[in-house]
Chains A and B, each alone.
Chain A
Amino acid sequence: MLQAIFIVLSVITLGGAVAVVTNKNVFHSALFLVVVLVGVAGLYLLLEAPFIAMVQVLIYVGAISTLIIFAIMLTRRLMNTHQRQRNEQWLLSATVCLGLLLVLVVLITQAHWPVVQANVSEGSLPRLGQDLMERYVLPLEVAAVLLLAALIGAIVIARERMP
């Protein structure tokens, strides 16, 4: 049963990903990106990480995809579907990516992956919160400063120049 759900989610995710990179219309690509992000959130749920899945939906589906759609609409006039969407090196890129995928698939299927059995359905989220406040409090603060810097930087970069 879980395997069937996993296969359905993976097909949706990977199909959406292919649509994101090959679609001629960038706006449609952004909508397919939402499908991919929701599919990955479903995979997180299968991995028993509901908090990560929720954060994924909130930040990626809620914020980042909205930002991307905004940017597409602000720059839409020049990127209509009649224009070429691939550059000259797309065939070479496809070869390189297929080669990399082949190497990774061979490596992953050949290797032995030992698994630690554990029941994580309860207690994983409180532990994460506690660790974020104790063990990882410095990275957490650095992340906060990074977000603030990125916010200010984005505003400064995108602002209209004063006449």
Chain B
Amino acid sequence: MIPLSWFLLVAAALFCIGLYGVLSRRNAVGILMSIELMLNAVNLNLVAFWRYRAPLDSLGQAFVLFVLVVAAAEAAVGLALVIAVYRSRETIVMEDIDLMKW
């Protein structure tokens, strides 16, 4: 049987890679993709803990489903925002979208 810590290590690495993408990407769609990576890392953690710690309770799987729903909503609204910004400002480089910065 695979040790629980292996899954946790993979999820931690995936989360850190996604965090790097969020912090360093200039393209807004690239940032959204990195956020999806981070959400996947969290889901992987949830499923791993469900399988190894509480396999007879379905709370872990139910939680993963709700995270998936929120991720889908986030992707839809985020990409709609990207397209709206692109239409009005002709750019999706995050440094140029600074209207609300002071």
Contacts and interface: CB of A to CB of B under 8 A. Distances in A.
B99 interface: no
A143 B3 CA distance: 33
Nearest to B23: A93
A26 B92 CA distance: 12
Interface string B37-71: 10010011001101111111011011011101111
A101 B13 CA distance: 6
B30 to A, nearest CB: 6
Interface string B66-78: 1011111111110
B14 A13 contact: yes
Contacts of A48: 51
A23 to B, nearest CB: 9
Given A29-B30, A98-B16, A64 B36 contact: yes
Interface residues of B: mostly helix, strand, loop or mixed?
A: helix
Contact of A21 (B34, B55, B59): B34
B66 to A, nearest CB: 6
A82 interface: no
B21 A21 contact: yes
B97 interface: no
Contacts of B72: 59, 63-64, 147, 150
Nearest to B32: A68
B61 A52 contact: yes
Interface string A11-41: 0011001101100001001100100110010
Chain B contact residues (Cβ within 8 angstroms of A): what range?
A: 35 or more
Contact of A85 (B7, B25, B37, B84): B25
A162 interface: no
Nearest to B95: A87
Nearest to B21: A21
Interface string A61-84: 001100110111011001100011
A64 B76 CA distance: 8
Contacts of A120: 51, 55-56
Given A63-B72, A71-B82, A150-B77, 20 more contacts: A21-B34, A21-B37, A44-B44, A47-B51, A48-B51, A59-B71, A64-B36, A64-B71, A68-B75, A83-B26, A85-B27, A85-B30, A87-B25, A87-B95, A96-B23, A97-B16, A97-B17, A101-B12, A113-B8, A116-B52
Interface of B: 1-10, 12-21, 23-27, 29-30, 32-34, 36-37, 40, 43-44, 47-48, 50-56, 58-59, 61-62, 64-66, 68-77, 79-84, 86-87, 90-95
